Structure 1
């Protein structure tokens, strides 16, 4: 049994296969996920787990070098959560963000019900 970090076996498997430049999506419970896109669905009920909890857990385990969020999140609660963690956010329209989800190595669905609580993370390297 692991001592620390993410315990979800499915999510751990996806994390272990990530490489430099791969995309990981942390999504609210309403983001449309294209059929066939690898997904780890952590949503239990509205608000559980929170977007920030999932995002923080991933940031503890994975190196991310950049992120993309919806421009509609700017000035909103979810936008603040993202910019608190990533000072250099690239923005696209929410429609463009939804199109980018199909290229993700994995989507991690939270139970978050706050509008625009979605971010696409680009994997980096620890050296």
Structure 2
């Protein structure tokens, strides 16, 4: 049994399989889920788990080179980003999710609580 880090097997596996430049999206409960995209659905009820908590856990294990958020996201949400996010209109953000490797759905109900994380390298 794993003692530390992300305990969700699907999420842990997805992070371990990320390569340089691959995209992982952490999404609120309302972001459209592209049919062709693998989704790790962590949502239990409205508000659980929270976007901030899931993002914080992912950031302990994923090397992030850059990130993308919607311009409509509040400054408080943008402050959670691991690096200054490139911001695009929400419609463009949704389009960008189409090329993600995986989408992680949270129970977050705060509007525009979504971020695309692009994997960096550790060497």
Q: Which residue of 2 aligns with 1:91?
A: 87
Does the 8 Å contact 2:64/2:82 carry over to 1?
Answer: no
Quick one: distance in 2 between partners of 1:46 and 1:57? 19
Q: How large is the RMSD of aligned CA atoms in angstroms? A: 1.1
Aligned residues: 123
2:69 aligns to what SS in structure 1? strand
The 8 Å contact of residues 26 and 104 in structure 2, kept in 1 or not, is answered as yes
- The two structures have a TM-score, normalised by structure 1, of 0.92
Which runs of no fewer than 5 residues in structure 1 stay unpaired? none
Shift, 1:87, TM fit: 4.0
How far, CA to CA, are the matches of 1:44 and 1:24 in structure 2? 20
Secondary structure (helix, strand or coil) at the match of 1:56 reads helix
Q: Extract unaligned runs of 5+ from structure 2.
A: none
More helix by share: 1
**Equivalent runs, 1:25-64 vs 2, <5 Å:** 25-64=25-64
- Bigger CA drift: 7-16 or 42-51? 7-16
